[in-house]
A and B are shown apart, each in its own frame.
Chain A
């Protein structure tokens, strides 16, 4: 199994749909992250979980709802999204949440909101 896997890789949804993004890490890391990557913008941190507890919620609209059922899995539930939410959503994990640890990224879920 590769380090961090994300599904689906591509998702197209209407504004009234409900969908979920899934992330799984096989590295035994303690922390998991959701980032949003938009064209010509820096990576934006959305949520961080450490040992299944949410430790960071970076002023993200409530139409994005994270879930971390265990230290290996992370979900991002999506509902009533807006077209401006179209972006690449990257999951990452790290061993050390203290800021000195390398992030391991998944390949991302490319979301298009119509």
Chain B
């Protein structure tokens, strides 16, 4: 079957580094997306990985290992505004995306 697993909740301290993991099982692979969703707001695109390795974008980085079916989102120098849910998603055929349940990150002062 096709499935995505990610932790339900994580807590970290302002200024720290946090890593949110995502493992996936899909019949094919056409990249992996990370979205950020603040409470009551739209999910917004953070990153897209299709090749193995680390992609850095400011304080946020995303890593992919296709052989392991594994990705992580790394958030550095955490800020209070980073408190949000982080959704991992993989395309699964035309017009279909499989989403994880999302990881709710709480950043404490």
Q: A residues near B, CB below 8 A?
A: 4, 31, 33, 40-43, 45, 48, 50, 55-56, 90, 97-100, 102-108
Q: Provide the bound-state CA to CA distance between A33 and B42, in Å.
A: 14
Q: What chain B residues lie within 8 Å of A42 (beta carbons)? A: 4, 98-102
Q: What chain A residues lie within 8 Å of B8 (beta carbons)? A: 40
Interface extent on B, as a size class? 20 to 34
B95-A99 in contact (CB<8A): yes
Contacts across chains A and B counted by CB atoms under 8 Å: 62
* Known contacts A31-B95, A40-B101, A42-B4: A100-B31 contact under CB 8 Å: yes
Residue pairs across A and B with Cβ atoms less than 8 A apart, 14 shown, are A31-B95, A40-B101, A43-B89, A55-B94, A55-B95, A100-B50, A102-B33, A102-B45, A102-B48, A103-B33, A105-B35, A105-B43, A106-B42, A107-B42
Q: For window 62-109 of chain B, which residues contact chain A by CB distance below 8 Å?
A: 87, 89, 91-102
Q: Provide the bound-state CA to CA distance between A77 and B39, in Å.
A: 25
A105 to chain B, nearest CB (A): 4
A107-B96 in contact (CB<8A): no
B30-A90 in contact (CB<8A): no
